[in-house]
Amino acid sequence: MSHFLTTKQFRFSLLLTAGLLFPAIVQSASVQVPSMGIKTISEAMLRTRVGDTVWVEKGVYRERILIAPGVTLASRQLFGAVIDGGGRGIVVTMGKSTTISGLEVRNGTIGVFSNGSGNTITQCRIINNWQTGLMIVRHLPKVEDNVIAFNRASGIQGWDVRSTNATINHNSIVYNGNHGIAVGGSSELILENNVVAFNERFGIKILSQAERIQISNNNFYRNLQSPKPIPSGNFSFDPAFLAPRTNMNFKSDPARCCKAKGTDNEELGARLVY
Amino acid sequence: MIRFLKRYFKQSLIALTLLMSTGQMMTASAQGGHPGEFLVTQRWQYLLSSRNALANPALINEENYLSIKGAYSSIMNEFRLFEVGAAIPINLYQTAGVSILHYGVSPYARTDAQGGMIGDSISDSKTYVALTYAINPWKGLSIGANINLLSENFDAVKNFSAGVDLGITYRIINNSFLGHHVLGLDLQNLVMATLNPATNTQQYPRTLRISLNSTYWERRVESSLELAYKDIGTPGTEFLNGAVSGDMDLNARVGVWIFRIATVNGLLGWGPEGPEHLGVSIGANFPSMNNGRDLSVAYQFLDVLNGEDQDAPNHTIYIKGDFGKHREEVYARRMAKLVNYLPNDLYVKAINFYNQGNFWDAFFIFSQLHVEYPDFFKNDWVSYFIGSCQEEMDMRVTSEEAYRQTKEKFDRSAAVPFADLGMMRIYYRDNNYHLVERQFNELNKLGVPDSLKYHAYYIMGQSEMSQGNNAKAKQLFDLIPETHPDFVFAQHSAAVSEATGGNIEGAISHLENCIQAPVTTKAQKEIVNRSYVFLGYMFYEDLTKQEGPLAKAVTALRSVPKESYFYPDALVGLAWTALKARQWADCMTAGQELITIAPSVVLKAEGTLLVAYADMMQKNYAAAASLLEGAAKDLEQFTGPDEGGYSAKQQEYESSRSSYTQIARGAYDLGTARQSGFVLKQIDSLHTLQKDAKAKLDEFLKFSDNYKRTSMFAKNVQSVKEDVEYALAKAQKLAGSKVQIKENQKANEKANAIDQQLEDLKKQLEQENKKKEGQ
C-alpha cells in the first residue's frame, strides 16, 4: 500500500477521466468526505446534485451507499477510501450515470450493484464480498482497471447485460469462489484485455441464451476447465502477480510475465500503479 | 435426540454395544450414558458437517445451490444408517432444507439379564425428519432452526417425538491470506417432547456445540473444529451409574484438495478419556461434469481407539450434488425482472410487427420507445430497428441516417455490425460501390460475427460483378460456407460470373452446388429454381459440349415447380428445347401452357410464337398464321417501353423517390414526437401517402425489370415483336403457296382430261375417215 500513486497524481488522473467522460462535471460542485457536518458518504450523497463529485479521504467507511444519479464518488487516494459493508447487503448501489473511482469496496453480500445506464466503475478494488463482487443487470457500465478478487461467489455476475457503448476492459478478475465472470439472459457484452485467473470455477460462464459476447485478448489462467473452450484470440499464461494475497498487488512480475499484450498494446489486467 | 431406554436395557445390550462403537458416544456408554447418540455426534457424516443442518441449522446458509446429498453408513454390517437431505437457497439471505434419516440394527435375539437367549428377536429402528430454515439478518450472522420429528420403533413399541434445534453462525473472517472462517453455536434439542407422554417418559439429551469451519486459499485446505458439551440438564438418574451427566468431546478434521478434484481428510476425536477415534477420508469432486457445480463422492473410515468396541470400525459413503442456479444468479435474474415492463412490452410488440412484415407500425413503436424510454436497455437495437424498418420500406436516405446514428450512439453495441450491413445493402442498391467497399472493410474487422461477414462477402461480390470484376466477385462468393443462408445466392452468382468468363463447366458446378444445397426460405427456393432455368439454358445452347444436352435441359427445366416465379421462364425454355429436338407436340404443350399462365403480353406472345413454329413445322401454316395474327395484334396494342419511354419513366422514378424521402422524413418526425391523438391521425394520413408512393416506386422497378428482360430464354418486347411479325409473314406466305399449287394441279388435271378427250375424239375421227376411204 505504500507504493500508491501520490495523491496529486491520482487526483489529476481522476479529474482527467471524469472530465473526458462528463464534461459537465468540470463545472460541478465537489463534496468532501469527511468535512464539516459530513461524516459519512451517505450524508454527502444527500447533498449532491447531478454532476457533483464526492471526494472521499483515506479511511474505512462502514456503510452501504446508494449513489445518486449523475454523481461521481471518488477516493482521494487510490484504494485509500474503503467502503466496508459489514458482512451483509449491497455495499455500493449505483444510480444512473454515476461513477465510482479509486475505492475499495469490501465485505458485503454484493460489492457493487449497477443497473442504470451510463455508469462507470474504474480503478476500484472490489474484494472479500460474501457473494458477488460486481453484479450488473441490463446496462453494462464501463468497467475498467478494477481488481475484482477474493469474493466468495463470482467476480462479476451479469444478467441481461447489454454493452452499448461500454466494455469490461483491463480488469483483474481473480481468486473468486465461483466463476470469474458469469453472464446470462439476453446479454451482449464485450470483454477485452482482462486477466481472469485462479477462480474456483470457470473463468467465464455463459448461459446458452447469452450468445453475443465478444471475448478477445483476455488471459484465462488456472480457472476450472470448462467444457466450452475459451474462444480463440485469448491467452492462457501465468500472470505472475507480485503479491496478490498479502498486499493485494496484482501487478505482473515483469521477470516472469507476460507473453501477450492487450489490443491497446498495454499490459493485460488492471493498469494500476501501486 | 437419542434417548436412553432404561427399561429395555437388558434386551438392548447387543444393540448398545453396536451403537456405542460409533465413536463419540463411546465415552458415555462406557460410563453408562445415552445410547444411539448418532444424531448427537453426527460422526457418520463428519466429512460434510460444515454445511449440515443437523450439525447446526444455520450452516445451510453456506450452500449456494439446490444441494442434494445422501449418506450410507455401516458398522460391522449390523448397524446401518441412511440419510438424504436437500438445501434450497431462497434468496441471498435465506435457505430452507430438509433431512431424512433412517437407522437401526438388524433384528437380534432377546436375552435375559445374564445375557442368556430367550428365544424371539427384537427390532430397533428410528426415522428422523428435520425441516430447516436459516436466515442471515445482520452482518455475518445467520440464525437457523430445525423442526424435528422422530419416530422410534423398538421391540414393536412405537413412539413419536418432536423438537426444535437452534443454531447460529457468524462469519468472522474472510481474508485472502488468513482464510474464511465461520463460527457456529448450536443447541440441539432445545425443545424435545414425546408425543406419547402416557407411554413414554424418556428424556432427550440436550447438546451445546461450538464449531469453527474454515477454508484457506480458495478451499485448497479445509478444517473443522467442534467442541460438544452433551447431556445438558439431563438428570443423573437417566444414566446407568446414576452419576454421569454432561461430558465434553472435541472433534477435528483437516483436509486438502489436490487439483480441486481429489481430497484427503484426517479426522480425530478426543473425549474425557483421551483420543477416541481416528479416521481418514478420501473423495473426489467433478464440477466440470456438472456445469461448474459440485458433484462429489467420498468415503470415510473411522477407527475407534478405546473402549470395548475398538474393533468395530465405521465405514461411510457420501454423495453430494448441486443443481439449479447459484444464489447470486437467482438474485441477478430477479433484479433484471424488477424493471418497468412497458418498454419491454412495446419492444416485443414492435418485434412481432417487424417479423410479420408490418414495418410501418413496427417503425412507429420503435420510434416511440426511442423517445419515451431513452434508458431502455435495448435502445441500441431499437435504434437499429428504426433503420431496418425504414430500409424494408425502401426509405433509403433516412434508413442510412438511422443506421449511422446507431453506430455513433452505441459504438460498442452488437447492433453496430448489423447497422453496417444495412448501410452496405443501401449503398449497393444505390450503386454506390465506393461506399459498399467501405462498409465491407468495416464488416471485416475483428469481432464481427462470421454470419454477418458472409453476408458482406455476398453483397461485395455482387458489387464487384456489377463493376465487371468477375474474378474478384467469384473469390468472394467462394468464401461463403454451405451452412450460411447466402450460400445458394452466392453459388448462383458465382455461376453467372463463371459463365460470363466463359468457364461453362465451372458455372455448371456452382449451379449444381446451388441446386443441391438445403434450402428453407422462399427466396432460397426461388434462386434454386433460377439455377435450374440457367442450367437448362446452358444445355439448350449446347455450351457444355456434354452428351444429350437437350435431354439434360428438359430435366433441369422440368424441375422448376409450377408455383415458382421462374416457371414461365422454364416453360419458354421447355418449348424452345422441344422445338430444337423436333418434338412438336411437346413444344405445343409448353407453348400453350405459357399462353395460359404468362403474366405479360410479351411472354404470351412468345408462347404463341412457339406454338406457331410447331404448327408450321407440321405444315399447319394456316393455323400458325391465325395464331400469330392474334399475337401480332396484342403486341401492336401493347405500348411497350422504348428507350425514350424508359428514360422518362426513370426520371419520374427519381422524382418519386425524392418525394418518398420527404415522406420518410415526415414519418421520422412523427415517430419521434410524443404520441398523441393528433399525431396518430397524422401517422394514418401519412401511411396512405407512403403506400401510394411506395406503389409508384415498385411499379417502376417492375417496369424496369420487364424492359431489361433479356436473360436466358425469354426475349424482350422488341425481339418478340420482330419474331412474331416474321413468322406471321412466313406462315402466310407458305399458306398462300399451298393453295396455288392445288389450283394448278386441278387445272392441269382438267387440261389433261380435255386433252384426253380431244385425243379420243381425234382417234375416233381418224377411224371414221379410214372407214370412208375403204368404202
Using CB atoms, pick whichever of B335, B414, B446 lies closest to residue A188.
B414
Query: b or e along B441-451 (b: 16 or more beta carbons within 10 Å of the residue's beta carbon)?
Result: ebbeeeebeee
Cβ(A143)–Cβ(A169) below 8 Å: yes
Instruction: Find the distance separating the first CA and the last CA of chain A, reported in whole Å.
Output: 7
Identify the CA nearest to A119 among candidates A169, A49, A166: A166
- For residue A188, which residues of chain B lie inside 8 Å, CB to CB? 413-414
> For A154-186, what is each residue's pLDDT tens digit?
999 999 898 888 999 999 999 999 999 999 988
Using CB atoms, pick whichever of A130, A244, A245 lies closest to residue B174.
A130
Cβ(B323)–Cβ(B86) below 8 Å: no
pLDDT at residue number B714: 65
CB contact under 8 A, A153 and B64: yes
Residue of higher predicted confidence among B268 and A14: B268
**In terms of CA atoms, which chain B residue is nearest residue A188?**
B414
**In terms of CA atoms, which chain A residue is nearest residue B171?**
A87
Nearest chain B CA: its distance from A122 CA (Å): 18
pLDDT at residue number B774: 63
Q: What is the DSSP letter of B267?
A: E
Nearest chain B CA: its distance from A131 CA (Å): 7
> For A27-83, what is each residue's pLDDT tens digit?
578 999 999 889 999 999 999 999 999 999 999 999 999 999 999 999 999 999 999
- Calculate Rg over the CA atoms of chain B: 49
Identify the CA nearest to B686 among candidates B652, B658, B662: B662
Using CB atoms, pick whichever of A158, A159, A245 lies closest to residue B177.
A245
> For A101-125, what is each residue's pLDDT tens digit?
999 999 999 999 999 889 999 999 9
pLDDT at residue number B123: 83
The dihedral through the CA atoms of B104, B107, B113, B114 has a sign that is negative
pLDDT at residue number B447: 79
Contacts of B481 (CB under 8 A, 6+ apart): B454, B487
Q: How far apart are CA B673 and CA B669, in angstroms?
A: 6
- For residue B333, which residues of chain A lie inside 8 Å, CB to CB? 159, 184-185
Q: Does A249 score more than 60 pLDDT?
A: yes
pLDDT at residue number B61: 94
pLDDT at residue number B308: 55
pLDDT at residue number B721: 79
Identify the CA nearest to B141 among candidates B111, B170, B184, B177: B170
For an interface test with B, give the residue of A136, A137, A175 to mutate (most B CBs within 10 A).
A137
Nearest chain B CA: its distance from A197 CA (Å): 12
> Would you place residue A268 in the very low, low, confident or very high pLDDT band (cuts 50, 70, 90)?
very high
Q: Give the three cell numbers for residue B85.
A: 437431505
Q: Give the three cell numbers for residue A114.
A: 449497477
Residue with cell 418518398: B660
pLDDT at residue number B757: 77
Angle at B197 between CA B195 and CA B199, to 5 degrees: 110
pLDDT at residue number B442: 94
Beta bridge partners of B298: B283, B318
Residue B476 CA, distance from chain mean position? 29
Q: Where are the alpha helices (DSSP H) in A74-162?
A: none
CB contact under 8 A, A110 and B333: no
Nearest chain B CA: its distance from A109 CA (Å): 8
**In terms of CA atoms, which chain A residue is nearest residue B412?**
A165
Residue A13 CA, distance from chain mean position? 16
Nearest chain B CA: its distance from A19 CA (Å): 19
Chains A and B: how many Cβ contacts under 8 Å? 145
CB contact under 8 A, B177 and A198: no
Using CB atoms, pick whichever of B217, B326, B377 lies closest to residue A162.
B377
Query: b or e along B681-696 (b: 16 or more beta carbons within 10 Å of the residue's beta carbon)?
Result: ebbeebeeebeebbeb
**In terms of CA atoms, which chain B residue is nearest residue A175?**
B218
CB contact under 8 A, B174 and A128: yes
pLDDT at residue number B710: 53
CB contact under 8 A, A178 and B333: no
- For residue B414, which residues of chain A lie inside 8 Å, CB to CB? 163, 188, 212, 214
Nearest chain A CA: its distance from B288 CA (Å): 6
Q: How far apart are CA A81 and CA A102, in angstroms?
A: 8
pLDDT at residue number B548: 82
Q: How far apart are CA B35 and CA B26, in angstroms?
A: 9
- For residue A177, which residues of chain B lie inside 8 Å, CB to CB? 218-219
CB contact under 8 A, B375 and A116: yes
Mean pLDDT by 10 residues, chain B (775 residues): 34 33 31 40 68 90 94 82 93 95 82 75 87 95 94 84 94 91 93 78 81 92 91 72 69 92 92 86 94 94 74 86 95 85 88 94 92 87 95 93 93 92 95 95 89 95 93 93 94 91 90 93 93 90 80 92 90 89 88 86 86 85 84 78 78 88 87 74 84 87 70 69 82 69 70 79 79 67
pLDDT at residue number A77: 95
| Secondary structure element (H or E) that encloses residue B584, with its range | helix B584-597
Residue B207 class from Cβ within 10 Å (0-12 exposed, 13-18 middle, 19+ buried)?
buried
CA atoms within 13 A on the CB side of B189: 24
- For residue B411, which residues of chain A lie inside 8 Å, CB to CB? 165
Q: How far apart are CA B466 and CA B689, in angstroms?
A: 33
Residue with cell 454493452: A163
CB contact under 8 A, B140 and A88: yes
Q: How far apart are CA B725 and CA B286, in angstroms?
A: 85
Residues of chain A with pLDDT > 90, as a percent, come to: 70
Q: How far apart are CA B377 and CA A117, in angstroms?
A: 8
pLDDT at residue number A19: 46
| Secondary structure element (H or E) that encloses residue B110, with its range | strand B94-111
Contacts of B766 (CB under 8 A, 6+ apart): none
pLDDT at residue number A20: 47
Q: How far apart are CA B630 and CA A106, in angstroms?
A: 92
